[in-house]
Amino acid sequence: MAAKTPIKPADPTVDLASIAARKGQIGKMSIEDVLLILKRAKGEVAKGKEVFTRQGCIVCHTTEKGQPLKGPFMGQVGAVLSPEQIAESILKPNASISQGFSTVQVTTRDQKVYVGFVTAQSAEAIEIRDITGKVSRVKVDNIKERKELDISMMPGGLSDALSIEEFASLVAFLASQKG
What CA–CA distance (Å, rounded) separates 42 from 44? 7
The correct pick among 41, 90, 138, 168 for binding ligand HEC (CB under 6 A) is 90
Q: Does 172 bind ligand HEC (CB under 6 A)?
A: no
Q: Does 158 bind ligand HEC (CB under 6 A)?
A: yes
- With respect to ligand HEC, which residue has the nearer C-beta, 140 or 149? 149
The correct pick among 93, 114, 138, 166 for binding ligand HEC (CB under 6 A) is 93
Burial of 33 from C-beta contacts in 10 A (0-12 / 13-18 / 19+): buried
What CA–CA distance (Å, rounded) separates 84 from 35? 7
Q: Does 170 bind ligand HEC (CB under 6 A)?
A: yes
| Helix-strand-coil split of the chain, %, nearest 5 | 30, 20, 50
- With respect to ligand HEC, which residue has the nearer C-beta, 138 or 170? 170
Residue 121's DSSP bridge partners are: 126
Q: Does 152 bind ligand HEC (CB under 6 A)?
A: yes
- With respect to ligand HEC, which residue has the nearer C-beta, 56 or 139? 56
CB 163, CB 22: distance < 8 Å:
yes
Least distance CB 81 / ligand HEC (angstroms): 6
